[in-house]
């Protein structure tokens, strides 16, 4: 029988969302700041950021 100390919480193994995909997030945020979300100019950067986050186990 395992004790709670023996089992790891899956959330502990996952990094914090603020700590991953920093270059992709910065590029996305800069594009959105200057062009707006509705312009369509940032769609590729948004998709790249989402793909990066999904690689770390975050759903977008």
31 known member of a binding site: no
Residue 9 CA to residue 27 CA, distance in Å, equals 32
Confidence (pLDDT) at 13: 76
Candidates 1.10.287, 3.40.50, 1.10.1200, 1.10.150; correct CATH number of 18-55?
1.10.287
Which pTM does this prediction carry? 0.74
Contact 49, 24 (CB under 8 A): yes
Beta strand segments in 1-60, E: none
pLDDT at 3: 47
With cut-offs at 50, 70 and 90, classify the pLDDT of residue 9.
low
More confident residue, 4 or 14: 14
Phi, psi (deg, nearest 5) at residue 6: -80, -25
Please write the tens of the pLDDT for every residue from 17-57.
999 999 999 999 999 999 999 999 999 999 999 999 999 99
18 is an annotated ligand-binding site residue: yes
Q: Where are the chain's structural domains?
A: 18-55
């Amino acid at each position: 029988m395992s004790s709670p100390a023996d089992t790891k919480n899956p959330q502990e193994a996952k990094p914090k969302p603020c700590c991953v995909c920093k270059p992709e997030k910065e590029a996305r945020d800069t594009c959105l700041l200057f062009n707006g979300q509705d312009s369509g100019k940032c769609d590729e950067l948004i998709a790249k950021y989402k793909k990066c986050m999904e690689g770390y186990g975050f759903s977008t």
